[in-house]
Amino acid sequence: MGKLVICDHPLIQHKLTFIRDVRTNTKDFRELVDEVASLMAYEITREVPLETVKVQTPVAEMDGKILAGRMLGLIPILRAGLGMLDGILKLIPAAKVGHVGLFRDPETLQPVEYYTKLPTDVTERELIVIDPMLATGGSAIAAIDVLKKRGCTQIKMMNLIAAPEGVKAVQEAHPDVDIYVAALDEKLDDHGYIVPGLGDAGDRLFGTK
Ligand SMILES: O=P(O)(O)OC[C@H]1O[C@H](OP(=O)(O)OP(=O)(O)O)[C@H](O)[C@@H]1O
Ligand SMILES: O=c1cc[nH]c(=O)[nH]1
Ligand SMILES: [Mg+2]
């Protein structure tokens, strides 16, 4: 079973409260999501491998550490996943980015795939699938399915807010995938929205409602 990690750093929890607040405008919402994504990147990359390189400081030569080789791939689920992308890229600029386009049919709540573009070396990378919301889990499961069909094996999931139903569904469908969230909320409502959640992440990021 994949682990569920709740990133409960005080800075993340503080910013998440303003992200949730219905009064937060689009500009502030986008900036806060970007900042929390950076802070979560710090947590999710805690175990990435390092290699030793010689570095000459102004005083002496020493063994320094750098991230090992070709490594990370970021997979935002369009659209809302894009809101977390730049915050992670700021910390890991060498990561490559693959896009998976999915939207959730409002009636059936089933994910509909409309776009996929992955880096050519995607199977060699450790991948982080990014999406602010893990609700029923249908979109996350479909995105991970896309990656596994292409031969990817090292996959983690990063969400701002998850519902228990979505965590359970992803853990059952993809028990090898660890999930990192800023908060685990109470439940889903009758329309598949996370309660208390933050509303529709895509609409709040891009001002579409
Ligand atoms: O866990 P699920 O029940 O699948 O729901 C979560 C999905 O719903 C939202 O996307 P949405 O369909 O609203 O698309 P958008 O990002 O284009 O707004 C969200 O960003 C997730 O991708
Ligand atoms: O609460 C939810 C559920 C799915 N998608 C969202 O944007 N918000
Ligand atoms: Mg949406």
77 has pLDDT over 90:
yes
Cα distance between residue 6 and residue 182, in whole Å = 6
71 has pLDDT over 90:
no
- Residue 200 Cα to ligand 3 midpoint, Å, equals 5
Give pLDDT tens digits for 182-196.
999 999 999 999 999
- Assigned token pair, 137: 């889990």
Cα distance between residue 181 and residue 116, in whole Å = 24
- Residue 162 Cα to ligand 2 midpoint, Å, equals 9
165 lines ligand 2 (CB under 6 A): no
pLDDT at 189: 97
Alpha-carbon distances of 103 from 62, 138, 154, 158, rounded to whole Å: 50, 10, 24, 17
pLDDT at 136: 96
Three-point CA angle 36, 82, 164, nearest 5°: 60
ipTM over 0.90: yes
pLDDT at 69: 72
Instruction: Tell me whether residue 104 is one of the annotated catalytic residues.
Output: yes
- Detail the DSSP E strand segments found in 69-203: 72-78, 96-97, 99-104, 111-117, 126-130, 133-134, 155-162, 178-184, 187-188, 194-195
Calculate the average pLDDT of the chain: 96
Overall average pLDDT of the 84-113 stretch? 93
Confidence of residue 106 (pLDDT cuts 50, 70, 90): confident
Overall average pLDDT of the 71-94 stretch? 96
Q: Which run of H or of E encompasses 62?
A: strand 61-67
Catalytic pick from 20, 104, 125, 204? 104
Q: What is the pTM of this model?
A: 0.95
